[in-house]
Structure 1
Amino acid sequence: MNAKVRVQLSLMMFFEFFVWGAWYSAIAVYMSSNGMKTLTHWPFTVNAIAAIVAPFFVGLIADRYFATQKVLGTLHILGALFMFITPSLTHNPLLFILSLLAYNICYMPTMSLANTLAFHQMTQQEKQFPSIRVFGTIGWIAAGLTISFILVGFVQQDLKPEATALPLYLTAGSSLLLGIYSFSLPHTPPPAAGKKVSARTIIGVDAFKKLGSRSFYVFLISSLLICIPLAVYYNYTQLFLENSEFQNIAATQTIGQASEMVFMLLMPLFFRRLGVKWMLAVGMLAWVLRYALFAAAAPETTTWMIMAGIALHGICYDFFFVTGQIYMDKKASIEIRAQAQGLMIFITYGVGMLIGTQIAGELYNSFLEDGVSLSLLQWQHFWWIPAAFAGGVLLFFIAAFNEKIK
């Protein structure tokens, strides 16, 4: 892979996650400022629905009939149009949420399309992909910093940029740019052209049967269950920061992505010492500690505890999700590796997050007595619930997962 292609792919990854981070880390604050405080879990719900739909679109249509870079570009341009009109629909919550659903159905397939395009240009995926994928994490961080430190110059002094439509317009503009840019990316023919593809293949039914073992099922169940507290984090951390009077909400949350970059580099060292089981267990333990720190910090708004809890996102994500992807790859034979990875995405970001966002929404609304916001004491009680839930998943996993795999 030459230097030009490396730069092209790195820019693609940067903007792919810049687009996502620009709205995902601010949407709950925006909705709560526009009379939709009890509905803030719905953007994350439609994101999960789109994650379930995306593999079918990619596997049955995009992978068979069209060049990858053209589908990538077209979807980002369409997504830009949906996101651009979304702020004008705040007067009608149903239309607002349906517009976000339409946007997410456009966006979510682009994640696997971007990976497909990148892998097609590589000869040594395991060595070349991490150095390109890391620009995605940098893009997410850049989105948060842009919202907190650049967009703040375009709002009234008493407003946070996250409470305005500017992050959504930032998403629409960057999505449009990425869509246009995508047509200049290296030509990538449809990878499954002429091949027989079925729905059961796409969601990994065949992989599920071939990989079946007690520990494998325990891993899948744990992955699904851990996405319930994950949904709580993504949805309500930004509202917690707002109630705790943090000024730079989007930027503060990027501490988690910075941590993710650090622990990604340290993973090989930990892998050699811990192995798969204890890597996964440490990842889940970090989830417990994160919510416990939030709970302990809430009454007095102890800043260092809140920031430490956000920083634990690197261990939460890398040690569980990245290790899980490696575990699936080690378990699967060559012919079902793609199915195995698709199965994990379907279980976690699809089904798991769909269930998690709904439970998280019901939990938050049960605390929302005055319809305005949670008190700091209520936030303390709120955060102990996902902490206990994650702790239960951790104990179940340690007791039931016995597979010896390094």
Structure 2
Amino acid sequence: MNIKHRLTILHFLQFFIWGAWLISAGGYMFVTLGFEGVQIGAVYAAMGITSLFMPGLTGIIADRWVNAERVLGACHLIGAAALVGASMVTEYSIFYTLMFIHLMAFMPTIALSNAVSYSLLEKAGLDVTEAFPPIRVWGTVGFILAMWSVDFMGWTKSPNQFLIAAGAAALLGLYSFLLPQTKPVGVDASKGWVTAMGLDAFVLFKEKRMAVFFIFSMLLGAALQITNAFGGPFLDSFSTVYPDSFGVQHPNLLLSISQISETLFILTIPFFLKRFGIKKIMVMSMLAWVARFALFGIGDPAGGLVFLILSMVVYGMAFDFFNISGSIFIEQEADPKMRASAQGLFMIMTNGFGALIGGVASGWVVDLYTTDGVSDWSTIWFVFAGYALLLAIVFPFVFHYKHKPEELADVAH
């Protein structure tokens, strides 16, 4: 089996784990467990808290001391055990603790899987910009199939969704140990303790352009967590008005259109990135987030179903054009010796601070516009759309970057 096929399996399982619970867990907590908006937001914000330190820590370990594929495998095995525990409890404090442990193990694996993929593709003499997106698209396929599996099994409001995720995590944990070795680069002791500890990736903040890029990646990461946490509860809110509608009966299937859209937009990244550059792509992403939220604000599962579907379609651009393109951009800008650490830093900003801000702020906004258990979802989504529009207006004026297509011919320099 060639390296592309082996990495395809890696990314398929990586995102199958997430897809099994990420979108439906909000509805499970809201309907089955009876958690409040702030509590649900806090669980999703835990992705942010754990991403503040775990991706950076595991990136340091993978860069300096332990093979990245071994760190990846160990994380998934630990995460699988925590998911099994979460499926067995209903008390908020225990559930939150177990999900926190799972996220401590899972969140760094996203950056690690990217770092392993980039390294192995480079060793195989392949162009990362061309080779990686068609591999990564299978991660989205895995995410979609996980969502569909949970939906068709009728488990969107059941703890069984966590057991499916746990099984995939255990399988990937074992599979990771069978991947080709991605050995630590090592450190020249004469370069001091900052380099030895892997903190050199933070020097990227010294350059204004990179600092601005990381800050706006964080703010877009916040937008991502909004729909992760409340897309399910939003559709469930129509259960009394449109109980027999497709969106209410099969929320995961409707929401999975977003991931199907991802598979299409991922494949366009090489073209758009080389033709337009990261600055224009980031603006496209921000405007897509505006459309995503605004269309939610005017849609419903009955007469407004077309607006919900359009919202799912534009999500592909909203997510891929900052997440996947951003990862490739960081790979281009960072020194090869801090590659895993730089990817970890990107995760810290997007799924760390971004998820923390998005989880807490979205829960607060939802509760603010909720009276006697009834949420004013149109207003809520328009507030989020205004937030994304503000980012799109400000970003072009503060991020200074001259697009050089020839540099993308060799991402790893």
Fold similarity call, TM over 0.5 = yes
- Cα drift, residue 187 of structure 1: 3.7
Instruction: Name the CA distance, whole Å, in 1 between partners of 2:402 and 2:4.
Output: 37
After superposition, the C-alpha distances for 1:290-347 in whole angstroms (9 at most, x for unaligned) are 1111111149661110111011111102223333334444544555655544433222
Work out whether 1:84 is the aligned partner of 2:84.
yes
Match of 1:25 among 23, 26, 31: 23
Contact 1:68 1:188 in 2 (8 A): yes
- Cα drift, residue 386 of structure 1: 0.5
Instruction: Name the CA distance, whole Å, in 2 between partners of 1:68 and 1:274.
Output: 33
Structure 1 residues 171 and 348, CA gap change in structure 2 (3 angstroms):
same
Could you tell me which amino acid in structure 2 is paired with residue 95 of structure 1? I
Could you tell me which amino acid in structure 1 is paired with residue 120 of structure 2? Q
- Cα drift, residue 355 of structure 1: 1.5
Instruction: Name the CA distance, whole Å, in 1 between partners of 2:233 and 2:98.
Output: 22
Instruction: Name the CA distance, whole Å, in 2 between partners of 1:244 and 1:93.
Output: 25
Aligned to 1:350: 352
Aligned to 1:181: 175
Instruction: Name the CA distance, whole Å, in 1 between partners of 2:236 and 2:51.
Output: 28
After superposition, the C-alpha distances for 1:14-39 in whole angstroms (9 at most, x for unaligned) are 11110111111111011012111321
Aligned to 1:206: 203
After superposition, the C-alpha distances for 1:344-395 in whole angstroms (9 at most, x for unaligned) are 3222211122112111111111223223x42xxx111110100011111111
Work out whether 1:129 is the aligned partner of 2:136.
no
Contact 2:133 2:267 in 1 (8 A): no
Match of 1:238 among 211, 214, 232: 232
Instruction: Name the CA distance, whole Å, in 2 between partners of 1:316 and 1:172.
Output: 28
Aligned to 2:401: 403
Contact 1:64 1:194 in 2 (8 A): no
Aligned to 2:242: none
Instruction: Name the CA distance, whole Å, in 2 between partners of 1:349 and 1:301.
Output: 35
**SS class of match (1:186):** coil
Aligned to 2:407: none
Aligned to 1:156: none
Residue range with higher mean Cα deviation, 295-304 or 342-351: 295-304
TM-score normalised per structure 2 = 0.85
Instruction: Name the CA distance, whole Å, in 2 between partners of 1:94 and 1:395.
Output: 40
Instruction: Name the CA distance, whole Å, in 1 between partners of 2:325 and 2:318.
Output: 10
Instruction: Name the CA distance, whole Å, in 1 between partners of 2:324 and 2:82.
Output: 31
Matches within 5 A, 1:139-178: 139-149=142-152, 151-152=153-154, 161-178=155-172
Work out whether 1:394 is the aligned partner of 2:392.
yes
- Cα drift, residue 223 of structure 1: 2.3
Contact 1:207 1:339 in 2 (8 A): no
Could you tell me which amino acid in structure 2 is paired with residue 225 of structure 1? L
Structure 1 residues 187 and 77, CA gap change in structure 2 (3 angstroms):
same
Could you tell me which amino acid in structure 2 is paired with residue 222 of structure 1? F
Q: Percent identity?
A: 30
Q: Structure 2: 5+ residue runs without aligned partners?
A: 240-246, 405-413
Contact 1:55 1:202 in 2 (8 A): no
**SS class of match (1:163):** coil
Structure 1 residues 192 and 281, CA gap change in structure 2 (3 angstroms):
same
Instruction: Name the CA distance, whole Å, in 1 between partners of 2:252 and 2:193.
Output: 41
Contact 1:119 1:125 in 2 (8 A): no
- Cα drift, residue 88 of structure 1: 2.2
Could you tell me which amino acid in structure 2 is paired with residue 82 of structure 1? A
Say what the alpha-carbon RMSD is for the aligned residues: 2.6
